[in-house]
Amino acid sequence: MSRVYSYIDVAGIVLAGGASSRFGVYKCLRDIDLKPMLLRVVHALDHGVVVAKKGYRLGYVEDLLRRSGFKIVYDDTDSYNPIHGIRAGIEYVESERVFIAACDYPYLKMEVPRYLCSKEFDAVVPYDIDIHVLLGCYSSDALRMRVHSLGRPLDMLVLFSRVYLVGTEELKMIDPYLRSLINVNYPNYVSSYRYDVSTPSLALYSRYDVAAVVRRIRSMARALDPMEY
């Protein structure tokens, strides 16, 4: 497989303003292997924006973020909807493509954002039993034009007509154990990720097809884990 994607410069919007309701405390600063989750995600990208809620304090991490080429901006809305964080961050993005990542994907490999952003689609997002919309690469212009009409993260897919869903079999070529997809939601988290999940990659070229596929995958996810979805 070609490694041309390894040289791609990746700008990111890292979302660090969630409610952490299932976690109990502000999880972005929780250490994973002696390093805050937020920094682990940031260090998989080249530069960009970290969006926190107004009133949050990132402490000593703020200086480390700036040294890593990241600007810190604040979402001053009362909502914890990630869309508001994306709206706050996209105004500072100058690159053609932007990788959006939630802070609770601490095992994100550097190769994954570069690989996803090497594809010429409006949205490139990995999926297994669910769709990881907060771990995907998007066209900055397309997102900027539509961001104010978005109501929830999944809308970032259904509003686009050119979407590539990266299946697990393709993703395993750069992340064999799919650790980049591990989403940490609980303080006593122990990895129980299903590495045996096998999904094909899908190139979609109409909003109708995107919406239909999203509904099908979400329906399957709810059937597998009704409490989570």
Distance between CA atoms of 229 and 225, rounded to whole angstroms?
A: 6
The whole-number pLDDT of residue 149 equals: 87
What is the spatial distance between Cα 224 and Cα 149, in angstroms, rounded to a whole number? 31
Write the single-letter amino acid at 100: I
Alpha helices, H only, the chain: 37-42, 61-67, 82-90, 111-117, 140-146, 155-158, 168-171, 207-224
Structural domain includes residue 125: yes
The reply to whether 147 falls in a domain is yes
How many Å apart are CA 150 and CA 189, to the nearest integer? 31
Please list the ranges in the chain whose pLDDT falls under 50: 1-2, 19-24, 190-191, 226-227, 229
Q: What is the pLDDT of residue 40?
A: 95
| Amino acid symbol at 206 | S
Give the chain's domain count: 1
**So what's the pLDDT on residue 21?**
44
pTM for this predicted structure: 0.89
Flag whether 1 is in a domain. no
Domain limits for position 53 = 8-224
pLDDT score at 24: 42
In three-state secondary structure terms, 10 is: coil
Q: Is residue 2 part of a domain?
A: no
pLDDT of residue 222: 66
Which residues lie below 8 Å from residue 34, measured CB to CB, with a gap of 6+? none
Whole-number Å distance between alpha carbons of 152 and 197: 26
User: Residue 182: which CATH number?
Assistant: 3.90.550.10
Residue 22 has what pLDDT?
Answer: 47
Quick check: is 110 in a domain? yes
Backbone φ and ψ for 189, nearest 5 degrees, come out as: -65, 130
The pLDDT value given to residue 229: 46
- Tell me if 44 is assigned to some domain: yes
Residue 28 within any structural domain of the chain: yes
Reading the block at residue 32, the tokens are 């994973």
pLDDT digits (tens, 9 = 90+) for 31-65: 888 899 999 999 999 999 999 988 777 888 888 99
> Strand ranges (DSSP E) for 84-215?
97-102, 123-126, 135-139, 163-166, 202-204
Tell whether 35 is covered by a domain. Answer: yes
- Cβ-in-10-Å burial (0-12, 13-18, 19+) of 8 comes to middle
pLDDT of the residue at 5: 64
